[in-house]
Structures are given as C-alpha cells and as structure tokens.
Amino acid sequence: MLWRRSVVPHLPSPPAFAYGGVVGKRKEEAIAVQNIMAFRLRTSGVSSALKLYDVKNAFPSPAHSNIRSIFQQLPPSQDVSILLQHIVNHRCELQACDGSVLLQPGSGIPQGSTIATECFNLVYWGAIRQFEDQLMPHNELLTTNMEHCPTAISVATTVFVDDLASRVADNKPSALFQKVEDSAARLDGALDRLSMVQNISKAEALLNLRGPGAHKLTREAFLYGQLVPGCKKEARYLGPYLHWDCSFAPECQRRIDAARRAWYDFRGFWFKRIDMRFKLLVFRCVVVQTLLSGLVAWYVNDHFINKMDSFLVHVRARVAPVGIELVVARLRWLQTMLAKPREHHQMFAAMFGQFPFEKTLSDHPWLVQLRSDLSDLSQIEEAAWISNSVKDNPAHLLHDAVLREAFCAVDVSELRAKSISVQIPPPGFTDGTTQSPAATPTEFADGHVCELLRVDGSICGQRFQTQKALFAHQRFAQDGEHGTEVHAATLVVTNQCPFCSSAFSSIASAKIISEELCFMAVALLILAMNLGLEQNQGERPSKVRAVARQGMEDAETKKLLSTLAKLSLSNAMQIRALRSILLEVHQVPAANPYIQEAMQATKKYAEAAKEMSPKDKEERLGLPHIHVWNALLAVATRNLEQRAKEQDPSHQESLAVLLEYASKYQEQGWKAIHHEVKYARVQKNFRPELKRLEINLMESSPSDKVWAIIKADLRRDQGVRELPGVAPAGDLERQLQRFLDDASGSAK
C-alpha cells in the first residue's frame, strides 16, 4: 500500500540543521552555510576542519523498535496507527525453486513507500540532535544567538537525509585534530544506538589551518595522509565540490565543461529548423541550468561571471547574462526563506550572525552580494522603496513583517525581462545624441571621391571619409546606378585566396576576404599625380588618391583567368608527378574479390563512425586505410588457404607468412600497421567496370613482404595491370587546357 506524503499528521518541526526531505529547505542552503562559515573562519585566522560523513545502508537501517518509539511520541491519530502498522507488520514473499518464503523484516521501510524519507528523518534526527548537543560545548566558536530565536544556534552541522557535514574550529591548529577525532567518536556512539554505522570509505575531510605551525601541519595532512583520515583538497558535498581554501575556480571550470558537453550532446538539435521559442526552452533547461544550477550558494564575483558569460556568447545563446540570472535566482531563494523565517535560522545566522571569533560583524562577500542584489531590485518600479529601505542593512527583512511581506510579493523575474527586452520608440521619436544623417559634401572635402559614371553618363562625385566606405559604395551601389562587378566569388573554389594565397578556415571566409580586400587591391589603379608646384601658383599639390576603375577590361580579365588556369594546371601536374612517385597503382576489375572486400570494409567503417565521436572513432576504429589493408590481407589468406589444400609447398609457405603477420600485428594494434602501411585506397576509374587500387608502404618492412604475396595473388587475375608513370590529366584539367587553347586561338 502506498501513502501520500500528506498522510503523516502533525510532524514535529525539523531542527535547524535538517534540510533533506523538508518542505521549503533546499540543499543549496546547507552548502551556503558551510561556504560562508569556511570563509569567515579563514579571514578571521581561525583553523577549521569540515568532515563529511555518510550512513551505510541508510534507509534499510532504522530498526522497527526505534520507529515505533518515534511514532508513539507523535500526537495520537488514526493515520499514525495505520502507518505504524503498515511499517512494522509488513511481509515480503520470496519465490524460490522449491516454493515461496515469507519474511518479516525487522528494520527499514517497505519498498515503494512514499514516506520512507520522513520516517528515516524522524529516527535519524534524534541521533543527530544528541550528537550536536554533545559537540556544542566543545565548539563554542560556531554558536551564536539570533533575535526572535529562544535558543543558541549552531552552524557546525548540516544534514541532508543521510549526508552529514560537521565542522569544528579552534584558534590553535594543533588542537583541531583532537576535536575531529572526538566528533567522529561521538557520531559513532549516536548512530550505534540506532543500529546504524557510518560508511568510513566515503568519509572525507577539508582542512584550513591558520596560525603557528599551520603550514607544516597542512603539508603532513595533504601529502602524507596523516593527522586526519580522508583529507583532500576538494570534496564533493551534495553535488558540487567544496575547496579547502574556499576557491570557486575549480567548480566554475567543472560547470563550464559540463555545460559544454551538454551543448555538444544536443549539437544536432541546435541547427534544426525548429521554433526558436522551443529551442530556447531546451537550451535553458539543458545548458544554462547545467551551468548555473545551485550557484546561489556561492559567492560569484565579476571574473567568474564574465567567464561563464563568455561561454554563453561562444555558443551564441540569446539568453539573459549570467549575472542577471544569478540575481533573479538569489532573490527568489531569499523570498522562499523569508516566507517562513523561523525554519531557516541556521542560514540567517551564518549570513547575519556575529560569532565569538569576530570582534564585529564582518562584511563577508555573501553579505556584500546580497546588498548588491537588493540594490538591483530598484530597477523594478514597485519595489524601489523596498530596495532603498534594506539595501544598506538586509537584516531589516527579518525584523520588519510589513517589509518582509512586501518583498515576498515582488516578481523578481522582471529583472530578467528588462535585460532581454527590446523597446521600439514611438513614431516621431528623435534621439538627441544621434548625429543627423544629412551630410554636406564639404564635410569630407579631403575624403575619397567616387569617380564612376552613373547611368546617365555623369560622374558620381560622392565623397567618403574612408577608403573602405568608398569600396562599399562602389560594390553595392548597383541596380540602376553604378558599381563594380565582383568576380572574386566565382574565382574562389577552395579555402585559399587565389590573390594572396592565404588559407582560411572555410571557403566562405576565403570568399569574403577575397571580395573585400584582395580583389579590390587588384582592381585599384594608382594614378601618379604631379607633385611639383607649377610656376606662379601657390597651391599645394593634390594628394595621391586610389581610384577604382570602372570594372576590369576584358583583356585584363582574360589575362588574370589565364594566369590562374596555368597555375592550377602546373600544380595539378606536380601533384600527379608526386603521386606517381609515392603510390603504387594497379588497375583492377571492379568484380575482383580484392576490390569488393576493400569497398565493403570502407562502407562498414563509415557506418560505424557515424555513431561515434571523433576521438572514439580514432581510438576504437583506427584509420580507414587500415580497414582496406585488413580486407586485402583477409582475401589473400582465404585464397592461399584454399590452394594450400592442394599440397602446394609454395602456397603453404606464403600462407604461414600471412598468418604470422596477422597474429603479430593483432596484438600490437592498428598503430603498428599504420607505421608501415601509409596509404591504401580504392579509387574510381574513367571506365566504370574498372577500379584503381592505390597503396604506399614502408620499404623492406614486414608489411612490404606481405604486400608482395598479396600482389602475386592479385595478378593471377588477367585483368589486373600495374599503371606506371604519371597519371593522365583529369577532366577538370582538360577543361582548363581547352579554355587556354581557345583563349590563345582568339588572341591570334
């Protein structure tokens, strides 16, 4: 039988240190308490140690006798008796091969019960209360008093279900280790009364020692594992990692890496044609939440905010800045806590309380951050008066009920809306700071003049302040007016600029640079001006000005294209010559088993590589030509095995060489083969019924000897022949040659 959470009536109020399974209390609150106290102790010069504990087999551990005693302390109710009967008297039936076995557990909560966490907490909190009461007299530095709270508040212990964090502090670092041992012994004693034990293998400790001898003791703890068992520089607590010296840098980098992985996991989704609102929703849930989840518990300065913002800008995310998102999240969290302030005494004590190790209340970074958040609240018109009232002393929100109620009613998400909204000005609006678009020709008297002809034959005469503006005008001032025709887009066919020979990341980038810079530089004509002063004239000489010609003449265009064609033919000839030197090429019928197996291996490699990342593809599959080589080796081995059955000694000897080679390199892996087999590929031929087998191997290597055996078996096919010398020109080269021949013929 399953029970709703609301069935348990009149549950006792949770203690200040309890967070897991408690309505309105989040794990970020426990993390923030430990972060704030670690920083305040560190800046005050007090040594502290945070010990993280875990209960072994937590939920099955509470004995039914302890559960019964806890339920008997609750106010009498029909639901209480029914729930107690449900927990204590349930049975488990085990089906065995010889029948069924009926068991009655003596501990734990029935499987599938929805009140397992509440029952465990009621039992577990009793042991932790006893543990904290014993620890408090020896941990006075972490105890304070708050207004409207009748008892002293300890910030030493935070509990999230079975995860417990206990901090001890002392002015002397040498005395701290004894306190750590005593706290562990007291916890063992408290858990033993409930038939529970802590999981020692998961216990970790963070040390921050201050004072005389702190450096030596820290080295012994970190380097040699002495003094405190499980001492580490970073320890995971409720998700994030806490640093021994209160640094946020490692956690920030982990979050950025995790968000980047989430971005790449959905990389196929971001570029699909989907409604942008749905795409932004998925992005906020998958990437932004991975980056910012739980950051309300940390002090995040501008450096880390800019670092995370740069990541979101890198992935071109149209979301609110990280700083705004964190302000909204922190203010919402504060509203949740202020709705029931009596349930969050420990958090408010860590934030606003004054402890014995401090002479005055320090302005720690979390308090400064809270003041900044409340100051940003003034951007909301309805909340401006609240911001002015509490931005200097946020503790007023705890004491003033009217102010607290008004703050909880504010919709802080307006801060996010203001940061990403676009307001269109009304008709007729003019910005006083905007320069008037009307510009007289005298403003750029010494500027660059467009001397191209308009449609009616008149000179344009428009002046521009920069040469770049002139080029933009001459390029785009077309469609009925004038302008230069840009041929660069048709000339760029690779990621290399044909004018400056610079290589770029893509063809599109090469086209842009070629059009905007290189091609314009080729199209310019520098007119030499008379720099001498004429007689009887006191005027200064005119400046040398670069004037774009009105298009390129046909002769120059043909000359440029001819030069590019000759350069391409020369490069292609050199490449074919190099290929003839490096590659051994055989023309093989397409139906040959060697060709069929090699093509099938390449196809299988491509299909397997689609489902892998580039790194996994290289590690698990290797390179494509290794699969082609393995296919050739497999066909040769199969053919020789068939002929060896005929008791031919020569074939048996060759087969032994192939088998020994396969066994040896199977142990060494594909990288050993790649060291000897540099290239192996099946290429198309000008005749569809033929293929070209191209291969390159290291001379005098074991693979070279194996290739000699494979080649001898391959040549048994009468249609196989080796292609020596330089390969003939390809189709594109022949087209370029015809273009040059036609151009030279027309010139004659």
Closest CA to 33 of 298, 347, 362, 243: 347
* Residue 240: pLDDT band with limits 50, 70, 90: very high
Q: Which of 50-59, 284-293, 683-692, 697-706 has the highest mean pLDDT?
A: 284-293
d(CA 382, CA 385): 7
Contact 636, 710 (CB under 8 A): yes
d(CA 474, CA 485): 9
Q: Quick one: pLDDT at residue 51?
A: 92
Q: Quick one: pLDDT at residue 333?
A: 93
Q: Is the pLDDT of residue 520 over 50?
A: no
* Residue 708: pLDDT band with limits 50, 70, 90: confident
Q: Which of helix, strand or coil describes residue 2?
A: coil
Pairing of strands 241-243, 448-449: unpaired
Q: Quick one: pLDDT at residue 552?
A: 43
Q: Please count the CA atoms within 13 angstroms of the CA of 669 that sit on its side-chain side.
A: 7
Give the helix, strand, coil percentages of the chain, each rounded to 5.
55, 10, 35
Q: Quick one: pLDDT at residue 515?
A: 64
| Cα 71 to the center of its chain, rounded Å | 48
Q: Quick one: pLDDT at residue 525?
A: 33
pLDDT in tens, 92-137: 888 888 888 888 888 888 877 777 888 888 888 888 888 888 888 8
Burial class (CB in 10 A: 0-12, 13-18, 19+), 194: buried
d(CA 235, CA 250): 11
| Cα 267 to the center of its chain, rounded Å | 11
pLDDT in tens, 610-649: 877 776 777 778 888 888 888 888 888 888 888 877 766 6
Closest CA to 115 of 72, 190, 62: 62
b (16+ CB within 10 A) / e for 418-456: ebeeeeeeeeeeeeeeeeeeeeeeeebeebbbbbbeeee
d(CA 710, CA 636): 6
Q: Copy the structure tokens of residue 511.
A: 């086209």
List all residues 6 or more positions away from 595 whose beta carbon is below 8 Å from its beta carbon.
588, 589, 682, 691, 693
Q: Is the pLDDT of residue 449 over 70?
A: yes
d(CA 637, CA 443): 84
- pLDDT greater at residue 268 or residue 424: 268
* Phi and psi torsions of 241, nearest 5°: -105, 130
Query: Could you tell me what percent of the chain has a pLDDT over 70?
Result: 83
Q: Copy the structure tokens of residue 596.
A: 């069929």
Query: Could you tell me what percent of the chain has a pLDDT over 90?
Result: 15
Q: Quick one: pLDDT at residue 455?
A: 62
Helices H / strands E in the chain, number of each: 30, 18
pTM score: 0.57
Q: Quick one: pLDDT at residue 528?
A: 33
d(CA 242, CA 49): 12
pLDDT in tens, 26-84: 899 999 999 999 999 999 999 999 999 988 877 777 888 888 887 777 777 667 777 88
pLDDT in tens, 536-595: 444 444 443 333 343 445 667 777 777 888 888 888 888 878 777 778 888 889 888 888
d(CA 113, CA 116): 6
Burial class (CB in 10 A: 0-12, 13-18, 19+), 619: exposed
Q: Is the pLDDT of residue 354 over 70?
A: yes
Query: DSSP secondary-structure letter at 726?
Result: P
Instruction: Supply the DSSP string of 18-29, one letter for each residue.
Output: B-TT-TT--HHH
* Residue 327: pLDDT band with limits 50, 70, 90: very high
Place of tokens 């006075």: 140
- Average pLDDT taken over every residue of the chain: 80
Q: Quick one: pLDDT at residue 330?
A: 94
d(CA 436, CA 430): 10
Contact 631, 600 (CB under 8 A): yes
Average pLDDT over residues 375-390: 88
* Residue 169: pLDDT band with limits 50, 70, 90: very high
Q: Quick one: pLDDT at residue 492?
A: 74
Strand partners, 100: 95
Q: Which of 272-281, 427-436, 732-741 has the highest mean pLDDT?
A: 272-281
Average pLDDT over residues 156-165: 91
Poorest-confidence range of 354-363, 519-528, 595-604? 519-528
pLDDT in tens, 489-508: 566 777 777 777 777 777 77
| Cα 718 to the center of its chain, rounded Å | 57
List all residues 6 or more positions away from 546 whose beta carbon is below 8 Å from its beta carbon.
448, 467, 524, 525, 526
d(CA 197, CA 124): 12
Helix (H) or strand (E) segment spanning residue 584: strand 584-589
d(CA 376, CA 186): 46
- pLDDT greater at residue 2 or residue 220: 220
pLDDT in tens, 179-190: 888 888 898 888
